[in-house]
Amino acid sequence: MKEALVFDKVYFSYDGEEVLKDVSFVVNEGEIITVVGPNGGGKTTLLKLILGFLKPDFGKIYVFGRNPQEAKGLIGYLPQFSSVDRSIPITAFEFVKLSLYPGVFKGYSMDINDRVSYVLKIVDAYNIKDKPIFELSGGQFQRILLARAIVNDPPILLLDEPTNFIDENSKKNFYEIIMSFKGAKTILIVSHDLNMVSKFTDRLFCLNREIFISCKIGDLGKNLDIIYSNLFSYVNHRHGE
């Protein structure tokens, strides 16, 4: 099985303050991995390292055998809902289209507008394509963010707390879309919603600066005490996760 993502003894610190310590794991192509852990435990930092926004102090990271800076076109990223500025006067269609650039579509037979329309239909958001993004509900905007993440058809998706701030019905609809990608894309989800993600996740990584549990989802039950004792501990550092 092809390795999609490799962390090999990765360390990372902000201003000398250790955030990740000796993190090693392998994610195979087509797997869905959920990462859980306490606030400040390093989850968002982990994603930023994969995206190439940060570089490790020590250790190696490979995305399909490349370093993250060379692999940016292989990754779709859905950031935390609260980190996105929705005040921009732009429609949902235009917001998704903004993530494209001309070189991406050399291999596509459709033009850019057709691709955006196609992806909006996949995430069940075509009917809101002409709405300004500031008028969208939380669930609607989350589907638009997902469309933006997949419009380049990346083999890897990174989802950072994708269902925060949306209602239960919207969560269910969102995860049904994610389940439709199972096996076709490698997906890494940061989430506290163990009940929902356990229905389709292959493995669970528990991160609190270090990976303290890596288990198949079928072994979740016997690890719950350890998971929850770490999940609600708090690691305080000044630069977020």
How confident is the model over 2-60, as pLDDT tens digits? 999 999 999 999 988 899 999 999 999 999 999 988 888 899 999 999 999 999 999 99
Does a structural domain hold residue 236? no
Rounded mean pLDDT of 172-176?
Answer: 87
Q: What is the pLDDT of residue 173?
A: 86
> pTM for the whole thing?
0.85
Cα gap 66→77, rounded to integer Å: 18
Sheet strands (E) in 70-167:
75-78, 156-160
Q: What is the mean pLDDT of the segment spanning 135-158?
A: 92
**Residue 15, SS3?**
coil
Q: Which residue has the higher pLDDT, 159 or 88?
A: 159
Mode of pairing for the β-strands spanning 32-36 and 203-208:
parallel
CA atoms within 13 A on the CB side of 139: 13
Q: Does residue 236 have a pLDDT over 60?
A: no
SS3 (DSSP) at 103: helix
Please report, for residues 77, 159, 180, the alpha-carbon distance to residue 184 in angstroms, rounded to integers and kept in the order given.
16, 16, 8
Residue 174 has pLDDT above 90, yes or no: no
How many domains is the chain partitioned into structurally? 1
Q: Is residue 146 part of a domain?
A: no
The pLDDT assigned to 220 comes to 60
Domain CATH for 184? 3.40.50.300
Residue 184 DSSP code: T
Position 220 in a domain = yes
Within a domain: 49: yes
Residue 225 has pLDDT above 60, yes or no: no
Please report, in angstroms and rounded to a whole number, the separation of the first and last CA atoms in the chain: 31
Q: Which domain holds residue 64?
A: 3-85+155-165+177-231
> Contact at 8 Å (CB) between 68 and 51?
yes
Beta bridge partners of 214: 205
Buried b (16+ CB within 10 A) or exposed e, 119-153: bbebbbbbebbebbbeebeebbbbbbbbbbbbbbe
Asked if the structure places residue 204 within a domain, the reply is: yes
- Confidence class for position 101, pLDDT limits 50, 70, 90: low
**What is the distance between the alpha carbons of residues 239 and 11, in angstroms, rounded to a whole number?**
16
Residue 126 forms part of a structural domain: no
- pLDDT of 197 above 80: no
